[in-house]
Amino acid sequence: QSCDILSSAFFRYQTIIFGFREEVLKFHPKFKAGSLTELDVNVKNKCDQYPYLGMDESYNLTISSSGATLNSNSVWGALRGIETFSQLVLQRSKDMFTVNGTTIVDYPRFQHRGLLLDTSRHFLDVSIIKQNLLAMSQSKFNVFHWHIVDDQSFPYTSNNFPDMATMGAYDSKHIYTQDQIAEIIEFARILGIRVIPEFDSPGHSQSWGKSIKDLLTKCYSSGKPNGQYGPIDPSLETSYGFLSKFFAEIAKVFPDHYVHLGGDEVNFDCWKSNPNITAFMKQKDFGTDYAKLEEYYMQRLLEIVSGVKKGYMIWQEVVDNGAKVNPDTIVEVWKNGFHTELSIITFRGYKTLLSSCWYLSDISYGIDWPKYYNCDPHNFIGTAEQKKLVIGGETCMWGEYVDNTNVLSRTWPRASVVAERLWSAQNVKDANAAAPRLEEHRCRMIKRGFPAEAVNGPGYCFQEYSIHEPV
C-alpha cells in the first residue's frame, strides 16, 4: 500500500539519512557483505488518513543478504520502522554509508505517547512547533498535547468568536490563524502524530473572559463585584450556550477524536464570594459542597463535547472530586502521589495517562534523566485489568519559563527518555545501559539540526550543533 504519508516519509528520510554534513572516519568493515540499494517497505493495509488512539504501529525490519525489508500492517508502523532504519545507517564518507545485518520486531508498549507544549504562558512560533514535531517523530512520540490557551493568553483564533484572540492574545502577532493550525495538524499527520488540543476550563480561563461577556464568575468583596474574575460561571445557561458553540467549532478544526478539557486547579474562592452562585448552589441542593458545582459544570461540558461526537481527556481532579464522567473518558494523572492515584483511577475503570513524573519544565542542575527513565506507568498496585487501562503517558514542557529561545534545547533529548519508557519493553530499564544510546541519540538529533542539550555531563558530539552565523 502507498499513500501521501509514505511518499512523504521516503522523501524526508532520504535527506535525514543521507543529506547532512560529511563525516570522514577511518572505517574498515570487518565483514563486508555487499551493497544495499533499496529498502522495500511493505504496508499491508490501506493507509489511514489520520493517526488515532490504538492505531497499529508495529513493524518488522530485516536487513540481510536477501535485501532490506520493512513489513507493517499500517502506514504508521512503516513510519516507525523507517525512523528506526534511519538510526541504523551510519555515514562513513561523503557518499558511503553502512548498515549492519539486522532483525527487528517492534511495536509500542503503550498506545498513547505524548508531549505537551504550552503556547499560552509563552507563545511558540509555528516553525518551532514544527521543529518539535520532527524531533518527536525521532523518538516515536505519537501525540502532541497542545495546551494552546490558558489564563495568560489566548492565541487561538476562533472563527465564531474572533474577539477571543483579538482581546485575549498577548498581541496581534501572538496568534495562531486557522491556516496555521491546519498547517500544524497536517505536518503532524504526515509524521503519524495526533494533535490533541486542550481548552482547559472552568479554571485556567482568564483570557477567555476578556471578550466573552459574563463568561467568567465575577468575584465579590463586601457585597459587590471587586473587578476580579474567577473560573467560568457554572450557574449561567449563557456559559453553556457559549461552550456549545465554541466546542462545535473546535470539533471541526481538530480532526482527532479526542479533545482535552482540562478541569484542573479550580479555585473555589471566587465562586464562594458570588451571591448568584450561592443562590444557584441552594437551588441545586449542593449545600456548601463546591466540588459538586465543579462536577455539575464538568458534566454539562462533557455532555456538550459528547454531543459534538468527540471523546475527551481530563486532568485527574475532575474524577478526584467525584464527577460522573463517561466510561470512555481518559484521565490524566499529573499530581504527586501518583502511584496511589493510578490505582484509584484504574480501579474505577477509567483509561489513564501518567504525566506526574515527567515534568521536563521542572529543571534542576545535573543529570536528571534517569529519574524520568525510572518512572514506570505500571508501577502501582492493581490487577492486570487495571494495568491495561493505563494507555500511556505524556511528558510536559510547561511554558512559564520557556519560549522560542529555549524550548527545543530544554525539551530534547530529555523527552526522548520518556519516549523510550513508553515505547520499549518494561524490562528495558537499566539507565546505565541506556546512557550510551541516549548519548548517540542526542548527537544524532544535533546532526539532524536539533539543539538537543547535554544530559550526561562533559563530552562531545562528532558534529556539534551549529547556529546561523551573523558574525
Q: Looking at the annotation, which residues are catalytic? A: 265
Q: Does 398 bind a second copy (CB under 8 A)?
A: yes
Closest of 258, 252, 286, 256 to residue 271, by C-alpha = 286
Q: CB under 8 A: which stretch of 73-81, 295-303, 376-384, 454-462 binds a second copy? A: 454-462
Of positions 50, 107, 170, 347, contacts a second copy by CB under 8 A: 170
Q: Does 131 bind a second copy (CB under 8 A)?
A: yes
- Read off φ and ψ for residue 55, nearest 5 degrees: -60, 155
- In the complex with a second copy, the residue whose CB is nearer, 66 or 336, is 336
177-190 burial string, b = 16+ CB within 10 Å, else e? eeeebeebbebbbb
Of positions 264, 294, 295, 341, contacts a second copy by CB under 8 A: 264
User: 406: which 3 cell numbers?
Assistant: 529555549
Task: Return d(Cα 420, Cα 415) in angstroms, integer.
Answer: 9
- In the complex with a second copy, the residue whose CB is nearer, 177 or 405, is 405
**Window 28-67: residues binding a second copy (CB under 8 A):** none
Q: Does 469 bind a second copy (CB under 8 A)?
A: yes
CB 51 within 8 A of CB 194: yes
CB 95 within 8 A of CB 372: no
- In the complex with a second copy, the residue whose CB is nearer, 169 or 298, is 169
Residues 6+ away with beta carbon under 8 Å from 434: 373, 417, 420, 428
User: 362: which 3 cell numbers?
Assistant: 521542572
x/- site string to a second copy, residues 83 to 122, per CB under 8 A? -------------------------------------xxx
Q: Does 359 bind a second copy (CB under 8 A)?
A: yes
* Alpha helices by DSSP H, 191-332: 237-253, 269-273, 275-283, 290-307, 317-320
Q: Does 409 bind a second copy (CB under 8 A)?
A: yes
Q: Does 465 bind a second copy (CB under 8 A)?
A: yes
Of positions 59, 85, 110, 123, contacts a second copy by CB under 8 A: 123
Of positions 404, 430, 436, 437, contacts a second copy by CB under 8 A: 404
Task: Return d(Cα 183, Cα 253) in angstroms, integer.
Answer: 11
**Which one-letter DSSP state was computed for residue 123?**
-
**Window 192-231: residues binding a second copy (CB under 8 A):** 206
Cβ neighbours, 10 Å, residue 51? 24
CB of 147 to a second copy, least distance (A): 11
Residues 6+ away with beta carbon under 8 Å from 176: 119, 126, 148, 155, 156, 157, 184
Q: CB under 8 A: which stretch of 51-59, 63-71, 274-282, 453-461 binds a second copy? A: 453-461
x/- site string to a second copy, residues 301 to 340, per CB under 8 A? ---------------------------------xxx----
- Give the DSSP H or E segment for 313: strand 311-315
Number of residues lying near a second copy (CB under 8 A): 65
List residues near a second copy by CB under 8 A.
Answer: 120-123, 125, 127-128, 130-131, 134, 151-153, 170-171, 173-174, 187, 206, 264-265, 334-336, 356, 359, 361-366, 368, 371, 398-406, 409-410, 446, 449, 451-455, 457-460, 462, 464-471
